[in-house]
Amino acid sequence: MANEQIDFSKHEILLSSSEIKLRVEELGRQISADYRDRELHLVGVLNGAFIFLADLVRQIDIPCQICFLQASSYKDQKLSSGEVTLMHNLDLSGKEVLVVEDIFDTGLTLKYIFEDLQQQKPKSLEACALLSKQIPDKEAVEVKYIGFEIEDRFVVGYGLDFAEKYREIPHIACLD
């Protein structure tokens, strides 16, 4: 599947681009209100969250800074390998930090990110995920802002990929 092109007309569209746009606008308003009078440091989790973060930050009307870290646990598979690799050179000491993630599924990646970033002693550390999969036995990580709750499906588009492909699709489609 990784080397073939997928015909998305034959796959279920789980979330349309207009549904995503409206929800991102709502999240931007909520985050702006919650962090009013404070400077927010948005930490995008690459590669999947770059489109979501770009759209989200344009809906936030408070001062903010944007930085990134890279996290990987999937390689070219549909299931997490269980091993998370993090790469960054961030300095978030004393800062209001919001980690922006594409999808909260097992919670393993966010758990590793939170453990890593807590060592820098940020003033606050919260998470925002576009999608949260309804799966049992998630890691105990609190995600303050969630765009959409979805069933345990394999999804691509709007930044989410399969083997680094299909991130550019403007909606979210199911591959299973």
Tell me the average pLDDT of the chain.
90
Examine the pLDDT at 76 and tell me if it is beyond 50: yes
pLDDT tens sequence across 140-167: 899 999 999 999 999 999 999 988 899 9
pTM for this model (two decimals)? 0.89
Average pLDDT for 11-40: 96
Which residues are known to be catalytic? Answer: 105
Q: At what angle do helices 17-34 and 50-57 cross, to 10 degrees?
A: 60
Q: Which domains does the chain have, with CATH numbers?
A: 19-27+38-74+87-174 (3.40.50.2020)
Taken in order 113, 114, 119, 123, the sign of the CA dihedral is positive
Question: Rounded to an integer, what is the distance from CA 119 to the centroid of its chain?
Answer: 21
